[in-house]
Structure 1
Amino acid sequence: MTTAPTCIWPLGATLGEGPVWHPAEGALYFVDIKGHQLHRCDATGGDRKTWQMPGEAGFVLPAQDGGFICGLPGRLLHFDPATEAFTPVTTFEADRPGNRLNDGGVAHDGALWFGSMDNAEAAASGALYRYDGALTRHDDGIVITNGPAFSPDRQTLYHTDTLGKVVHAFDVQPDGTLANKRVFVTIAGSGYPDGTAVDSAGDVWIALFGGARVERYSPAGELLEAVQFPVPNVTKIAFGGPDLKTAFATTAAKGLTDEQLAAAPLAGGLFAFAVATPGLPQHLINFGK
């Protein structure tokens, strides 16, 4: 049974995002994009540590050879938490200076998938990319990108057009390209679809920014469940814990008025709740070097 979310770290992040469970460490990492910070804690919210990022990091994802790949505006960096050293990986989108990166995920083959977005949240300058040592663009013309996440059979990729309130599905071709873009779900209620996670049954969990909930959909797009939160802006969940049956959820205080913050004092906190079906194991980035 899904339990009610509880706040395990009331840190008041401006834009908490990108939770990721690090299986080898038994720890959760997540970012505060607008706070330029990377946070780490254990499954209970304890053993906390924070690092400053050199800009707005949309995601920080673990790498096979150690450390993390960080997505910052127009570039990817490798970060070594032990030395706190950043090493350049690649640059891109020099022609889109108003963009930043927003959300990312790792495919079973170690490739990094991520999206860019207009930092002013107005221009349709965001795109979906794959990086495996070479950069390829797979979708374009989106104001705020979110996701991406893969089905358990690796045949479907889910990617979100947040302002359009639509989550799209793509067929993943054998060569890693995408085909057959189609609407998976359109959010009918309050809030905008933010980060996405998929569990081992193939159900798709979508966080609702401004909707105070996370919704779970079947692979056929049927709404199965809505998990209510005591804060308005839920940004993404990640499955973790030893059995992958804990959902960790990041939230954001961004955009809330003083009155709204007073009514939701845990806004920007890290939450956790139990789920019946475990998530999928976290893949590690491997560019084949």
Structure 2
Amino acid sequence: MSSSATTKPALQQWHVTEPYVHPHCGLGEGPYYEAATNSVRFVDIKKQRVHAVSLDAGPGSLITIQLDTPVSVTADIAGIDPRDRILIGAKYGIAVLDRRAGTYEYVARFASGVDNERLRGNDGAVDPHGRFWLGTMSDIGLHLQAEGHLYLFTGTRTAAQSMRHPVTIPNSVGWSPDNKTMYFTHSTERTVYAWDYALSDGGLSNERVFYRHEGPGEPDGFRVDVEGYMWHAVYGESRVLKISPAGALVGQVNLPTQNITCVQFVGTELFITTASMEKGEGPEEAVELSGALYRVDVGVRGLDPFEFKMDN
């Protein structure tokens, strides 16, 4: 057998060297394309901020809302102009953020009764049925433990349903182009799980491992493109992975800083959030470029996000 028949194909490679916008996030996360305004929203969990930048006006248009809670993810709400209100994942559950007033009100909490002060919301997404999946984990500054949940919220004001427990760092949730497969990343297990997702009622079955990461870093947030490939940020490895629908690593985006957190498609461009690095944690340039938002054209479009369906 010839050597060419046994050699793995070379990975596709993209290289990013400069930030698109650099707000020096402590923990940049949750990039989201706001189609109504052609802008990208993203959050800073540590600094409790929601950022937005207009892609028409450019980096100088960055606006920031300062909150008093660790906000980890955002989503559009069906029937509501996102310039007015959006959904956010917050400390105790999901809330509606009034962007003009800079205030928020909880729609539903993780638990009925007493809030768990040790936990905060992390990553999540709206599913094809308009429900919101959101993970919880040990809050910043606390010893990390396997005490979190992956919760499911409907549009009512009832407490969420725990769908998976215990988890340590639950991360992105997403779906295949035909909506028949749901993916979920458990970062500390370095594993992306997959289920069959029922189009009729959103039920899950046939749990399996889709991708298991080998390397020093941990898989963080992801998005899926229209061809079914997963684009997965890796915290601690300065890269975003391109994973095939069969779960094979086929490409990567290389970045100039280490802590890559999540991605979002805008057309064929991938917007990439990052977290800060401490002085001495890596090369001086990598530290300086940490906590920025990056962009790169990867030549394929991503799937559109679903809107949260909230009962009036």
Superposed CA offset, 1:60-98 (max 9, x none)? 222122311111122221012123231221122346431
Percent identity over the alignment is 31
Q: Using the alignment, how far apart are the partners of 2:52 and 2:143 within structure 1?
A: 28
In structure 1, the residue matched to 2:272 is 249
1:60 partner amino acid: T
1:163 partner SS = helix
Separation in 2 of the partners of 1:276 and 1:213?
17
Where does 1:136-215 land on structure 2 (aligned, <5 Å)? Answer: 136-173=161-198, 174-215=200-241
**Which of 54, 77, 82 is equivalent to 2:68?**
54
Asked whether 1:11 is paired with 2:23, we answer yes
Q: Which amino acid aligns with 1:41?
A: V
3-state DSSP class of the match of 2:20? strand
Q: Are the counterparts in 2 of residues 41 and 49 from structure 1 also a CA contact under 8 Å?
A: yes
Uncovered stretches (5+) of structure 1, i.e. residues with no partner: none
**Residues 4/137 of structure 1: CA separation in 2 closer, same or farther (3 Å cut):** same
**C-alpha displacement of 1:177:** 2.3
The one-letter code matched in structure 2 to 1:106 is V
Judged with a 3 Å threshold, the aligned counterparts in structure 2 of structure 1 residues 4 and 45 are, in CA distance, closer, same or farther, namely: farther
Q: Which has the higher contact order (CA 8 A, sep 6+)?
A: 1
Does the aligned pair in 2 maintain the 1:70–1:77 contact within 8 Å?
A: yes
Deviates more, 1:57-66 or 1:222-231: 57-66
Matched residues in 2 for 1:32 and 1:86: separation?
Answer: 16
Aligned 8 A contact 2:13 2:252 in 1: no
Say if 2:110 is the partner of 1:88.
no
Q: Report the aligned-residue RMSD.
A: 1.8
Greater mean deviation of Cα atoms: 189-198 or 126-135: 126-135
User: How far apart, in 2, do the equivalents of 1:137 and 1:85 lie?
Assistant: 27
Q: Which amino acid aligns with 2:291?
A: G
The alignment partner of 2:282 has SS state of helix
Map of 2:251 onto structure 1: 225
Number of residue equivalences: 285
Q: Distance in 1 between matches of 2:296 and 2:245?
A: 22
Q: Distance in 1 between matches of 2:308 and 2:175?
A: 15
Q: Deviations over 1:7-53 (max 9, x none)?
A: 11122111000000011110000000001110000234341100012
| One-letter code aligned to 2:134 | F
**1:70 matches 2:82:** no
Rounded to whole Å, the distance in 1 between the matches of 2:115 and 2:64 is 32
Greater Rg over alpha carbons, structure: 2
Cα distance in 1, alignment partners of residues 309 and 241 from structure 2: 31
Residue identity in the other structure for 2:191: V
Partners of 2:52 and 2:68 in 1: CA distance: 17
The code of the aligned residue for 1:109 comes to H
Give the distance between the partners of 1:118 and 1:168, measured in 2 at CA: 21
Q: Residues of 2 paired with 1:77 and 1:253: CA distance? A: 26
Distance 1:32 1:201, change over 3 A: same
Distance 1:131 1:38 in 2: 22
| Distance in 1, Cα, partners of 2:283 & 2:28 | 15
Which structure is higher in strand share?
Answer: 1
Q: Give the C-alpha shift of residue 179 in structure 1.
A: 1.7
Q: Does 1:238 align with 2:264?
A: yes
Q: Name the amino acid aligned to 1:257.
A: K
Letter in 1 for 2:15: A
User: 1-side partners of 2:115 and 2:306: how far apart?
Assistant: 31
